[in-house]
Chains A and B, each alone.
Chain A
Amino acid sequence: AQSVAQPEDQVNVAEGNPLTVKCTYSVSGNPYLFWYVQYPNRGLQFLLKYITGDNLVKGSYGFEAEFNKSQTSFHLKKPSALVSDSALYFCAVRPSGGSYIPTFGRGTSLIVHP
Protein backbone atom coordinates (compact mmCIF):
# COMPACT_ATOMS: atom_id res chain seq x y z
CA ALA A 1 0.00 0.00 0.00
CA GLN A 2 1.16 3.51 -0.70
CA SER A 3 1.03 6.38 1.76
CA VAL A 4 2.01 10.00 2.16
CA ALA A 5 2.84 11.81 5.37
CA GLN A 6 2.80 15.58 5.76
CA PRO A 7 3.95 15.88 9.36
CA GLU A 8 3.02 19.54 9.83
CA ASP A 9 -0.61 20.66 9.83
CA GLN A 10 0.54 24.26 9.60
CA VAL A 11 3.72 26.09 8.64
CA ASN A 12 4.23 29.73 9.54
CA VAL A 13 6.87 31.86 7.85
CA ALA A 14 7.59 35.55 7.47
CA GLU A 15 7.39 37.13 4.05
CA GLY A 16 10.78 37.11 2.35
CA ASN A 17 12.04 34.13 4.33
CA PRO A 18 12.60 30.69 2.81
CA LEU A 19 9.89 28.12 3.30
CA THR A 20 9.81 24.33 3.45
CA VAL A 21 6.75 22.09 3.49
CA LYS A 22 7.64 18.52 4.31
CA CYS A 23 6.47 15.31 2.67
CA THR A 24 7.54 11.70 3.06
CA TYR A 25 6.10 8.78 1.17
CA SER A 26 5.89 5.03 0.96
CA VAL A 27 5.27 3.21 -2.33
CA SER A 28 6.19 -0.05 -4.02
CA GLY A 29 8.68 0.50 -6.78
CA ASN A 30 9.65 3.86 -8.20
CA PRO A 31 7.47 6.80 -7.19
CA TYR A 32 5.75 9.50 -9.16
CA LEU A 33 5.47 12.46 -6.77
CA PHE A 34 3.35 15.59 -7.00
CA TRP A 35 2.70 18.84 -5.17
CA TYR A 36 -0.59 20.70 -5.44
CA VAL A 37 -1.81 23.96 -3.97
CA GLN A 38 -5.39 24.77 -2.99
CA TYR A 39 -6.78 28.22 -2.36
CA PRO A 40 -10.04 28.64 -0.40
CA ASN A 41 -13.13 27.31 -2.16
CA ARG A 42 -11.10 26.17 -5.15
CA GLY A 43 -9.85 22.93 -6.64
CA LEU A 44 -6.26 21.75 -6.53
CA GLN A 45 -3.72 23.43 -8.78
CA PHE A 46 -0.68 21.53 -10.00
CA LEU A 47 2.68 22.91 -8.81
CA LEU A 48 5.29 20.38 -9.83
CA LYS A 49 6.05 16.70 -10.22
CA TYR A 50 8.91 14.25 -10.05
CA ILE A 51 8.82 11.42 -12.56
CA THR A 52 12.49 10.66 -13.18
CA GLY A 53 15.78 12.43 -13.72
CA ASP A 54 17.14 15.37 -11.76
CA ASN A 55 16.31 15.18 -8.06
CA LEU A 56 15.63 18.93 -7.91
CA VAL A 57 12.38 19.76 -9.62
CA LYS A 58 11.32 23.31 -10.42
CA GLY A 59 7.67 24.22 -10.70
CA SER A 60 5.18 27.05 -10.84
CA TYR A 61 5.34 30.33 -8.88
CA GLY A 62 9.02 29.86 -7.91
CA PHE A 63 8.46 26.62 -6.01
CA GLU A 64 10.84 23.69 -6.16
CA ALA A 65 11.07 20.27 -4.55
CA GLU A 66 13.88 17.88 -3.87
CA PHE A 67 13.43 14.15 -4.31
CA ASN A 68 15.48 12.15 -1.81
CA LYS A 69 15.18 8.44 -2.46
CA SER A 70 17.11 7.28 0.61
CA GLN A 71 14.94 9.37 2.93
CA THR A 72 11.78 8.78 0.86
CA SER A 73 11.10 12.50 0.99
CA PHE A 74 9.88 15.14 -1.42
CA HIS A 75 9.94 18.44 0.45
CA LEU A 76 8.54 21.57 -1.17
CA LYS A 77 10.68 24.69 -0.97
CA LYS A 78 10.73 28.32 -2.00
CA PRO A 79 13.65 30.70 -1.42
CA SER A 80 11.52 33.74 -0.58
CA ALA A 81 7.91 33.43 0.60
CA LEU A 82 5.13 35.79 -0.45
CA VAL A 83 1.93 36.54 1.46
CA SER A 84 0.06 35.30 -1.63
CA ASP A 85 1.66 31.85 -1.14
CA SER A 86 -0.63 31.34 1.87
CA ALA A 87 -2.75 28.31 0.99
CA LEU A 88 -3.20 24.59 1.59
CA TYR A 89 -0.51 22.36 0.08
CA PHE A 90 -0.93 18.69 -0.78
CA CYS A 91 1.73 16.12 -1.56
CA ALA A 92 0.73 13.03 -3.58
CA VAL A 93 2.36 9.80 -4.70
CA ARG A 94 1.60 6.90 -6.99
CA PRO A 95 3.77 4.05 -8.25
CA SER A 96 5.37 4.45 -11.66
CA GLY A 97 3.82 1.19 -12.78
CA GLY A 98 0.43 -0.32 -12.11
CA SER A 99 -2.12 1.74 -10.19
CA TYR A 100 -3.07 5.14 -11.47
CA ILE A 101 -4.65 6.03 -8.14
CA PRO A 102 -2.71 8.78 -6.38
CA THR A 103 -2.57 8.91 -2.61
CA PHE A 104 -2.70 12.40 -1.15
CA GLY A 105 -1.33 13.61 2.14
CA ARG A 106 -3.55 15.34 4.70
CA GLY A 107 -2.39 18.74 3.55
CA THR A 108 -0.29 21.48 5.17
CA SER A 109 -1.61 24.97 5.69
CA LEU A 110 1.06 27.53 4.82
CA ILE A 111 0.66 30.94 6.41
CA VAL A 112 3.00 33.69 5.28
CA HIS A 113 3.00 36.70 7.59
CA PRO A 114 3.65 40.21 6.22
Chain B
Amino acid sequence: EADIYQTPRSLVIGTGKKITLECSQTMGHDKMYWYQQDPGMELHLIHYSYGVNSTEKGDLSSESTVSRIRTEHFPLTLESARPSHTSQYLCASMQTGGSGGYTFGSGTRLTVV
Protein backbone atom coordinates (compact mmCIF):
# COMPACT_ATOMS: atom_id res chain seq x y z
CA GLU B 1 0.00 0.00 0.00
CA ALA B 2 1.61 3.24 -1.17
CA ASP B 3 1.91 6.04 1.36
CA ILE B 4 2.28 8.72 -1.26
CA TYR B 5 -0.87 10.25 -2.66
CA GLN B 6 -1.47 12.21 -5.82
CA THR B 7 -4.58 14.16 -6.68
CA PRO B 8 -6.40 14.41 -8.95
CA ARG B 9 -6.05 10.99 -10.62
CA SER B 10 -6.92 12.52 -13.95
CA LEU B 11 -7.87 15.93 -15.23
CA VAL B 12 -8.89 17.65 -18.46
CA ILE B 13 -8.32 21.39 -18.63
CA GLY B 14 -8.32 24.10 -21.26
CA THR B 15 -5.27 25.79 -22.74
CA GLY B 16 -4.04 28.72 -20.68
CA LYS B 17 -5.51 27.51 -17.41
CA LYS B 18 -3.48 27.34 -14.21
CA ILE B 19 -3.38 23.98 -12.50
CA THR B 20 -1.76 22.54 -9.39
CA LEU B 21 -1.08 18.83 -9.07
CA GLU B 22 -0.96 17.67 -5.48
CA CYS B 23 1.47 15.18 -3.95
CA SER B 24 1.59 14.23 -0.29
CA GLN B 25 3.47 11.52 1.56
CA THR B 26 3.01 10.27 5.10
CA MET B 27 6.38 8.56 5.49
CA GLY B 28 8.39 11.62 6.54
CA HIS B 29 10.70 11.22 3.56
CA ASP B 30 13.02 14.18 3.05
CA LYS B 31 13.53 13.80 -0.70
CA MET B 32 10.72 14.20 -3.25
CA TYR B 33 10.62 14.13 -7.03
CA TRP B 34 8.31 14.92 -9.95
CA TYR B 35 8.54 12.94 -13.19
CA GLN B 36 6.73 13.39 -16.49
CA GLN B 37 5.92 10.26 -18.45
CA ASP B 38 4.15 9.83 -21.78
CA PRO B 39 2.14 6.57 -21.91
CA GLY B 40 4.42 3.56 -21.90
CA MET B 41 7.49 5.69 -22.27
CA GLU B 42 10.51 6.65 -20.19
CA LEU B 43 10.45 8.93 -17.16
CA HIS B 44 11.76 12.48 -17.31
CA LEU B 45 12.75 14.26 -14.10
CA ILE B 46 11.23 17.75 -13.97
CA HIS B 47 11.74 18.84 -10.35
CA TYR B 48 13.15 17.53 -7.11
CA SER B 49 13.54 18.58 -3.49
CA TYR B 50 15.99 17.50 -0.85
CA GLY B 51 14.01 19.02 2.00
CA VAL B 52 11.87 21.91 3.15
CA ASN B 53 12.53 25.12 1.17
CA SER B 54 14.82 23.19 -1.20
CA THR B 55 13.76 22.78 -4.83
CA GLU B 56 15.72 22.16 -8.02
CA LYS B 57 14.88 21.76 -11.69
CA GLY B 58 15.48 18.43 -13.33
CA ASP B 59 16.55 17.49 -16.83
CA LEU B 60 13.30 18.37 -18.55
CA SER B 61 12.18 21.95 -18.83
CA SER B 62 8.46 21.69 -18.26
CA GLU B 63 7.47 25.32 -17.61
CA SER B 64 6.21 24.31 -14.21
CA THR B 65 7.08 25.31 -10.66
CA VAL B 66 7.14 23.48 -7.34
CA SER B 67 7.23 24.37 -3.67
CA ARG B 68 8.25 22.50 -0.53
CA ILE B 69 6.92 24.38 2.47
CA ARG B 70 6.19 21.22 4.45
CA THR B 71 8.05 17.92 4.42
CA GLU B 72 5.02 15.94 3.41
CA HIS B 73 3.74 18.18 0.61
CA PHE B 74 5.28 18.82 -2.83
CA PRO B 75 2.79 20.41 -5.23
CA LEU B 76 3.50 21.03 -8.92
CA THR B 77 1.98 24.07 -10.64
CA LEU B 78 1.51 24.82 -14.31
CA GLU B 79 0.91 28.55 -14.64
CA SER B 80 -0.48 28.33 -18.17
CA ALA B 81 -1.27 24.88 -19.47
CA ARG B 82 -0.57 23.97 -23.10
CA PRO B 83 -1.44 20.85 -25.13
CA SER B 84 2.24 19.85 -24.97
CA HIS B 85 1.79 19.42 -21.19
CA THR B 86 -0.57 16.51 -21.83
CA SER B 87 1.12 13.62 -20.05
CA GLN B 88 1.21 11.56 -16.89
CA TYR B 89 2.89 13.14 -13.88
CA LEU B 90 4.43 10.89 -11.23
CA CYS B 91 5.50 11.95 -7.77
CA ALA B 92 8.07 9.97 -5.77
CA SER B 93 9.84 10.17 -2.42
CA MET B 94 12.86 8.70 -0.70
CA GLN B 95 14.42 8.91 2.74
CA THR B 96 18.12 9.67 3.06
CA GLY B 97 19.84 6.81 4.84
CA GLY B 98 16.80 4.59 4.50
CA SER B 99 16.49 1.41 2.49
CA GLY B 100 17.48 3.30 -0.63
CA GLY B 101 14.30 2.71 -2.58
CA TYR B 102 11.95 5.25 -4.09
CA THR B 103 8.20 5.17 -3.46
CA PHE B 104 5.92 6.36 -6.24
CA GLY B 105 2.40 7.72 -6.23
CA SER B 106 -0.25 6.45 -8.64
CA GLY B 107 0.18 9.42 -10.93
CA THR B 108 -1.98 12.21 -12.37
CA ARG B 109 -3.02 11.95 -15.99
CA LEU B 110 -3.33 15.47 -17.39
CA THR B 111 -4.98 16.32 -20.69
CA VAL B 112 -4.85 19.89 -21.99
CA VAL B 113 -7.32 20.67 -24.75
Binding site for B on A (CB under 8 A): 32, 34, 36, 41-46, 49, 51, 88, 90, 92, 100-102, 104-107, 109
Q: Which residues of A contact B45 (CB under 8 A)?
A: 101
Query: Which residue of chain B has its CB nearest to the CB of A92?
Result: B102
Number of interface residues of B (CB under 8 A): 27
**Whole-angstrom distance between the Cβ of A38 and the nearest chain B Cβ:** 9
B106 pairs with A107, CB closer than 8 A: no
Which of B88, B104, B106, B107 touches A36 (beta carbons < 8 Å)?
B104
Interface residues of B in 66-113 (CB under 8 A from A): 88, 90, 92, 94, 96, 99-107, 109
Partner of A105 from the list B6, B42, B48, B100 (CB cut-off 8 Å) is: B42
**What B residues does A44 contact at CB under 8 A?**
43, 90, 92, 102, 104
Of listed B2, B33, B102, B103, residue having the most chain A CB within 10 A: B102
Interface, chain B (partner A; CB < 8 A): 2, 6, 31, 33, 40-43, 45, 48, 50, 58, 88, 90, 92, 94, 96, 99-107, 109
User: Are B48 and A42 in contact, CB atoms less than 8 angstroms apart?
Assistant: no
Question: B104 touching A100 by the CB < 8 A rule?
Answer: no
The CA of A104 and the CA of B94, in the complex, are separated in Å by 15
Residues A42 and B96 in contact, CB atoms below 8 Å apart:
no
Q: Are B100 and A32 in contact (CB under 8 A)?
A: yes
Nearest Cβ distance between residue A86 and chain B, in whole angstroms? Answer: 13
In whole angstroms, how far apart are the Cα atoms of A44 and B93 in the complex? Answer: 12
